[in-house]
Structure 1
Amino acid sequence: MKLAPRTSNSTYSFKTALCLGVGLGVVMAAAPVAAAQTADAAEASAQEEQGQDAQRRLNAVVVEATRREGVTVQDVPVSVTAFDAALLDDTGVARLNDLEQIAPSIQVSQTESAASGTSISIRGIGTGANNPGFEPAVGVVIDGVYRTRTGIALSELPELAGIEVLRGPQGTLFGRNTSAGVVSINTAKPQWDPEASLTAGVGNYGMYSAEASVTGPISDTMAARVDVKRRVRDGYIDDVNSDREFNNLDRFLMRGQLLFEQDDASLRLIADYGKTDEDCCIGVNLIQGPTAAAVNGAAALAGLQGFADASPDDYKVALSPNRPISDDVEEWGVSAEYRNRFGTMNFTSITAYRDWQAIRDQDIDFSGIDRAYRDGTEITDKVFTQEFRLQDTYGPLDWLVGAFYMNEELGYSDTIRVGTQANLYTDFISAGATGGQLFGSLPGVPPLLGYVNPATGAPTLPTAPGAVPFFLPQFFDGAGQNNDDFEVKTNAAALFTHNEIALTDKLTATIGARVNYEEKDIEYDLNSTVPSCDFFLNNPAGGAVVQNLIASGAGSLVLLSCNPAVNTEYNGTDSDSFDETTVTGTAKLAYAFTPDFMSYVSYSRGFKAGGYNLDRSGFDSVLFGGDGAQPSDLQFDSETVDSYELGWKASFDQIAATLNGAIFFQEVADFQENVFTGTNFRVLNSDVESYGLELDGSIQPVDGLTLQAGYAYTKAERKTQLRTPRGDGTFDILAESGVQLSNTPEHVLTASGTYLYDISPDLRGLFHLNARYNSETATSDSTRGIADNDAYALFGARVGIQAADGGWEFSVFGENITDEYYNLASFNVPEQTGTVAVYPGLPAMYGAEFKVNF
């Protein structure tokens, strides 16, 4: 059987040689069967599936996330948007980042690492941290398996059956509780009719891609699917100090499946392996602060530029050529989904194990000076999950009970180190601010700390006989963390239930509850070598030097010479643990006024576990009046969300249209954020309020033409200030209350149109256009008003032709086709006062693709 004309162009495969061998056998079996089909039968099948696609595009997608069979978007009192494989294919959704283009309530921000610095937010609520100790507020579930960190779910996606975006707290249907929402990804299953495809693509920035997919039966009760995918693209950010290009793509995915079905029982086995090898992710300079003279001066001495002489939309950066930039990931996983029917009850078991490793090299001064870098920072995540669900119907009651268990071993080895110009840069800053230097790297500049008698070490006048200048012990190349090792073990267990009660033929009540138990244990071994820190801590005069510098207004020089990220005060080993038990749930009432109009009201409580800030700078320093390093300094509280919603689902069969909407109000207690305080990175909590309106509509005005649109108005504000104590009873205000959260546009509008039309009896045409409009947005609290995004719109398109029998397809495509510049995020560059950098979004990307179906 030939594939239908509208299918996804993604593919999967297996890691093991056994399943690759099985896949080759399926290919051999598939080809002759497919070739034997008649053109008439294939054309009839294509026309049938075209009609099905049109129906699915009108919000008739079956929603698997509700755990009820056969229900569509229009049937459920849930704020959900579902996308079928055809729309995802037309839009070019290959990664979760791409969902922004068609889902208005989703916002994706990415910072210094695609693997660990990406956050997804829904309704303004996301994960406010670039720290592996934080769990995601928006959960990502792929074929029923929860991914423990957002970055873990950002690799290439396999061939998709559909994606569902559930907005608001979830936990009575999914294995893992989430506080803001869930992105549920359903991949294509093995098929009982033999099918195969090959796809090749090329594009600008040296892009090329290749995919191969095969599926079919092995026996009367077993089917298999094997897919392989590779995508490569050059970087779009150039380094003016070398010939390097950054923010490239180099990704490989293999995925394989076996599906056993007999009577009421089924077993779906999935194994996958993925790898990325990329030079990512780079922040480009927006504003040069008062320290720019020191950056440029130190870089010039090495024959380099401190900053690129360019604006951000030139996509140029100046970095240290001797420091690699990389963001490499290797992952694999296996899962088994078992379903059976016992009497009238449906039983489901999902067992999974995933192993994920990311290694990152980074120039963390974001400039051409060799000040500081990361050298092989590593994150590992090994996760076992088990979920059980039992569901049945008893009279007016449709009930579901479930249990979930997760064991996670998270490892983090940080490697912040000092470069060859650390002494020089600090002395440039010191000389410019005070007229003196700290390390003695500048000829002819007097010592800031004065002169000493070499025999006694006592301070003396510069004119005293034998007096010598006093300098701090110098940095050496590679000083700093060697290494900071953290390990966090999490055991999480939950019991949940979700029950729908038909009170009348039109009124339905939903009651769901969940009991969550979380246990976290941390062990750490911190090892840093910094001579100047040792002087401050161990020399009798060190404390006096620190206090004198602070009192004179030069306290920033202490941070330059002993940054909290490498402060040897925190060296040592320790451990800690905590546990918590919470109860969450939901209550809803839904009323079907007519067969085509339903409205509902709901309340839900969500929960996101507390944890540990995996960063030595989170400790209290005695140098700044603190009480020293304690494990409790790193612990942060759990986050809870109370969500209220009024929604409706409306269908208009006469004009083939739907219009769904929701009005929501959410209160977030102890919203978790990792914030730079000016001295270190601390986890702070604040209360947040989010409310707004969401609309989602579709219409098919003529045969072959489908239009969809979505709108989200989101007001997400802090109810309390985000502040940190100074130690003298006063506070530093880091973010004011009553302002919109960063990376949360108030207004978002998405729209897409797809037109499928007959060119001739043997050819069909495709025209697809999608757009997303974002209103003005602050890209971080610390740069508010400086690095904000103005309102902008992004457009994507795909135009193609295909054989009417689905045998082949050729298309050209584009993303951001108007080449609109925008920022993903922004930040104040550490140790460079007043300097701001931004992470730019993708420029225009375009290409062509050819696919053959067998």
Structure 2
Amino acid sequence: MRFIPSLLTLAVCSSFSIQANEAEASVERISVQGDFRQQSVQQVAGSIAIVGEQDAKRTSAQHLDDLLSQFANINFSAGASRGRYIQVRGIGERSEFVDTINPSVGILIDGIDYSGLGISGISDLAQLEVFRGPEASRFGANALAGMLNLTTKGPTATPEGKLSATLANYDSRQLAAQFSNSIKQQVGYSLALEQQNSDGFIDNAFLNRDDTNNIDEFTGRFKLRYQPMDTLALQLVTHFVDQDNGYDAFSLDRNRTTLSDQPGQDQIRSKAIALQADYSALRFATLQAQLSWLTADSDYGFDEDWSYVGIHPDEYSTTDRYLRTRDQLTLDYRFISTPEGKLGNSDWVLGLYAANKSFDLTRQFWNWDLWQADSFVSSLSRSNAAVYGELTTPFSAGWSLVSGLRLERYDDDYSDSSGNAIKNHDSMWGAKLSLNYQVNPQALVYLLASRGYKAGGVNGDALAKAADGNLSELNSKASFKPETLYNAEFGVKGSALDQSITARVAAFYMWRDDMQVKGWLNPDSGPQFAGFIDNAGSGRNYGIEMENRLQLDPQLALFLSASWLKTKLGNYITLDEENFSGREQAQAPRFSYSVAADWYITEALTFNLSLQGKDAFFYSDGHNARSSRYELLGARLSYQLSNWELAVWTRNALDQDIGVRGFYFGNDPRDGYQSHVYEQFAEPRRFGASASYQF
């Protein structure tokens, strides 16, 4: 790691070398939409990565999954038809079965909380921001390790539209349309529609089908903006998602050929609406408010044996199905000080947050103790209330101190069909303190300390299995405690006025207290598993991440992001008495990188080349199965003709098998149920053609 000091030195030197007296007007300002004041990314302390529509084009990304490999220290796991669970700096969940997870990394889409759902087409992407490190003062309990903030395109003053279509191998098709306009000066609207279909990347040899892991997704978004006066702007945001995907991903032969006779499904239908207000008539502050509602119904299930009846005399044949309903109502008010409302010379933010969420589950499964089909029903109602604030105090010569604090309380009411009725509550707090030196508008050096948190909860699966009497050791796992994360970070951001060089580097050290990990108990080495969330003492995560952009000449631009990460589990001994203390944490690759180049061959012809790589990582905190190191090579050739853009592209051109979820146990009767590493793979080699018409 001798290159780390060199990187920091280079970033610091380049930041200080930029002349502050040049015209600031020429600076390209990329505003951080998730920040309270929507400042330039070069003026916000913290490790924040941003991609826009052009960045998505560069790698021919069609879904949120496809974008994540561009970011340093970002990983994800699937266990579903899409990557739904995100890890930042090695912290984040990997699946959700019986127990409702509390996400360590949340997802906001147009300000609406989609944490845990992780669903989004990106054809109307305006900007995606990835906040790395605890962001409790901004976002609360769903930002223990970070937050993804996605903003889609909105209303425009003049008519704008785009039609696009993509055809690719595996019978993949995508159609998308966007249009925005204003009805009159005060009213504007936008509409975005997208449909994606694909047979998926699995061959089911038993059913002789190639579409059991198919993709069938529709996304619709509508925005209506009304500005009745100069000091008041109102916006209505509506979302609709209909996902009817198959789920048949794991193979007994540990490849892309399955033997399932009852393939599963991964269906989600969600509706969301938000009312946003921005009121600036107050002398002392601007009021920003949002009221949002979301409901989502999901049907997730799979063939547990991954095989068919008759495969072996020692076979079993069962399915597992999870029917979930989620409803949430969220209210967020914040006052942001105006120049007249400063406290002395300090800018301030004061906010109030309240949310009510309910999670209802019906699980349909085979009960091995009763030897019959069974069901388990649970209900969790959660109320959150928080007050938060931030104070920015400037000193002389570019120095400033930013301090933030959030106080939050949650109350849980849990009940299930096993007769459990539990009330759980806790008060938590998060904070940040950042000492900033703004060298000039394009360069920032900061030293940051922050504290994040996420809620505890009830292990419904453990309670139900303990009540059966055969797994009484699970009584000690009836609940789990909140987790706390402390972060110390040093960062440098700098860019040239002509944008020929942009560099952002952050080094961090994080302490995890009562870290939440997923535990499993397999008492008889058979098909019965009991899952629970456990607290594993402490953990350590430290490393460095960077993003750079170099405009080598007017026809060639180079993009580089890279990260190095070291993690360690604290004192963690499983119920099976396996000792994982001191081992690396799950989903935490030691290094990752992304290199991309834009070559403008002519004014109309552009060639994009990208290479992403990631080190091997453990799939779980409870076993030692690992992924394989991989490299993703992609290319795109596009031709611009008036309002038309035509492109041919490839992703994963090297056709590597890339694991996105892994388990270690025995499930194959043909070898006596010996334990193996079973993996779900990401997409293989893809190639396709796209066309779009913009007006």
Cα displacement string for residues 412-431 of structure 1 (whole angstroms, at most 9, x for unaligned residues): 1111126xxx9xxxxxxxxx
Q: SS of 1:722's equivalent?
A: coil
* 1:635 shift after superposition: 1.9
* 1:171 shift after superposition: 2.0
Aligned to 1:277: 244
Aligned to 2:653: 817
Cα displacement string for residues 240-283 of structure 1 (whole angstroms, at most 9, x for unaligned residues): 21123332211111111101123121111111211111111411
Aligned to 2:14: none
Aligned to 1:515: 407
Question: 1:500 is matched by which residue type in structure 2?
Answer: T
* 1:504 shift after superposition: 1.6
What percentage of aligned pairs have identical amino acids? Answer: 22
Correspondence for 2:535 among 677, 685, 702: 685
Question: 1:843 is matched by which residue type in structure 2?
Answer: P
Alignment partners' CA distance in 2, 1:240 and 1:114: 19
> Mean Cα displacement is larger for which, 403-412 or 193-202?
193-202
Q: Does the CA-based 8 Å contact 1:617-1:682 persist in structure 2?
A: no
Correspondence for 2:102 among 135, 139, 144: 135
* 1:147 shift after superposition: 1.9
Correspondence for 1:329 among 268, 283, 286: 268
Aligned to 1:196: 161
> Mean Cα displacement is larger for which, 741-750 or 392-401?
392-401
Alignment partners' CA distance in 2, 1:244 and 1:358: 24
Question: 2:612 is matched by which residue type in structure 1?
Answer: R
> Mean Cα displacement is larger for which, 361-370 or 327-336?
361-370
Alignment partners' CA distance in 2, 1:619 and 1:185: 39
Q: Cα–Cα, structure 1 residues 826 and 177, in superposed 2: closer, same or farther, change >3 Å?
A: closer
Alignment partners' CA distance in 2, 1:647 and 1:802: 39
Question: 2:267 is matched by which residue type in structure 1?
Answer: D
Q: Does the CA-based 8 Å contact 2:263-2:303 persist in structure 1?
A: yes
Alignment partners' CA distance in 2, 1:839 and 1:347: 47
* 1:376 shift after superposition: 4.5
Q: Does the CA-based 8 Å contact 1:97-1:154 persist in structure 2?
A: no
The TM-score, its normalising length taken from structure 1, stands at: 0.72
Aligned to 2:373: 480
Aligned to 2:301: 361
Correspondence for 2:60 among 92, 103, 110: 92
Alignment partners' CA distance in 1, 2:493 and 2:57: 26
Q: Report the RMSD for the aligned CA atoms in angstroms.
A: 2.4
Q: Does the CA-based 8 Å contact 1:105-1:748 persist in structure 2?
A: yes
Q: Cα–Cα, structure 1 residues 489 and 104, in superposed 2: closer, same or farther, change >3 Å?
A: same
* 1:677 shift after superposition: 2.5
Correspondence for 1:227 among 188, 192, 196: 192
Alignment partners' CA distance in 2, 1:735 and 1:768: 47
Correspondence for 1:710 among 551, 561, 564: 561
Unaligned runs of 5+ in 1: 1-53, 286-307, 423-472, 526-571, 725-731
Alignment partners' CA distance in 2, 1:335 and 1:683: 32
Does residue 1:492 correspond to 2:431, yes or no? no
Cα displacement string for residues 741-789 of structure 1 (whole angstroms, at most 9, x for unaligned residues): 1221111111222233534xxxx122212221112222334552xx533
Alignment partners' CA distance in 2, 1:739 and 1:409: 36
Q: Cα–Cα, structure 1 residues 373 and 396, in superposed 2: closer, same or farther, change >3 Å?
A: farther
Question: 2:48 is matched by which residue type in structure 1?
Answer: V
Q: SS of 1:157's equivalent?
A: coil
Unaligned runs of 5+ in 2: 1-25, 310-314, 524-529, 668-672
Q: Cα–Cα, structure 1 residues 614 and 128, in superposed 2: closer, same or farther, change >3 Å?
A: farther
Cα displacement string for residues 614-636 of structure 1 (whole angstroms, at most 9, x for unaligned residues): 42576436744728x87x85321
Task: Please give the residue correspondences for 1:718-797 in structure 2 after superposition, counting only pairs within 5 Å.
Answer: 718-724=569-575, 732-759=576-603, 764-784=604-624, 787-797=625-635
Does residue 1:849 correspond to 2:690, yes or no? yes
Q: Does the CA-based 8 Å contact 1:496-1:512 persist in structure 2?
A: yes
The TM-score, its normalising length taken from structure 2, stands at: 0.88
Does residue 1:695 correspond to 2:546, yes or no? yes
Q: Cα–Cα, structure 1 residues 126 and 272, in superposed 2: closer, same or farther, change >3 Å?
A: same
Q: Does the CA-based 8 Å contact 1:130-1:674 persist in structure 2?
A: no
Which protein is bigger by CA-based radius of gyration?
Answer: 1
Q: SS of 1:61's equivalent?
A: coil
Q: Cα–Cα, structure 1 residues 373 and 337, in superposed 2: closer, same or farther, change >3 Å?
A: farther
* 1:120 shift after superposition: 0.5
Aligned to 1:211: 176
Does residue 1:169 correspond to 2:134, yes or no? yes
Count of equivalent residues: 646
Q: Cα–Cα, structure 1 residues 397 and 158, in superposed 2: closer, same or farther, change >3 Å?
A: farther
Aligned to 1:413: 362
Q: Cα–Cα, structure 1 residues 704 and 224, in superposed 2: closer, same or farther, change >3 Å?
A: farther
Q: Does the CA-based 8 Å contact 1:685-1:722 persist in structure 2?
A: no
Q: SS of 1:87's equivalent?
A: helix
Q: Does the CA-based 8 Å contact 2:144-2:452 persist in structure 1?
A: yes
Q: Does the CA-based 8 Å contact 1:411-1:488 persist in structure 2?
A: yes
Correspondence for 2:149 among 173, 184, 191: 184
Q: Does the CA-based 8 Å contact 2:477-2:534 persist in structure 1?
A: no
Alignment partners' CA distance in 1, 2:639 and 2:305: 49
* 1:142 shift after superposition: 1.2
Cα displacement string for residues 183-233 of structure 1 (whole angstroms, at most 9, x for unaligned residues): 111111111110122111111000111112211111221011112111101
* 1:656 shift after superposition: 1.5
Aligned to 1:458: none
Task: Please give the residue correspondences for 1:633-644 in structure 2 after superposition, counting only pairs within 5 Å.
Answer: 633-644=477-488
Q: Cα–Cα, structure 1 residues 623 and 224, in superposed 2: closer, same or farther, change >3 Å?
A: closer
Aligned to 2:70: 102
Correspondence for 1:66 among 35, 38, 60: 35
Q: Cα–Cα, structure 1 residues 597 and 190, in superposed 2: closer, same or farther, change >3 Å?
A: closer
* 1:55 shift after superposition: 7.1
Q: Does the CA-based 8 Å contact 2:627-2:662 persist in structure 1?
A: no
Q: Cα–Cα, structure 1 residues 575 and 106, in superposed 2: closer, same or farther, change >3 Å?
A: same
Aligned to 1:447: none
Cα displacement string for residues 456-514 of structure 1 (whole angstroms, at most 9, x for unaligned residues): xxxxxxxxxxxxxxxxx994xxx232x21110000001000011110223111011001
Larger proportion of helix: 1
Alignment partners' CA distance in 1, 2:144 and 2:88: 10
Q: Cα–Cα, structure 1 residues 75 and 850, in superposed 2: closer, same or farther, change >3 Å?
A: same
* 1:613 shift after superposition: 2.4
Does residue 1:827 correspond to 2:663, yes or no? yes
Alignment partners' CA distance in 1, 2:178 and 2:468: 60
Aligned to 1:452: none
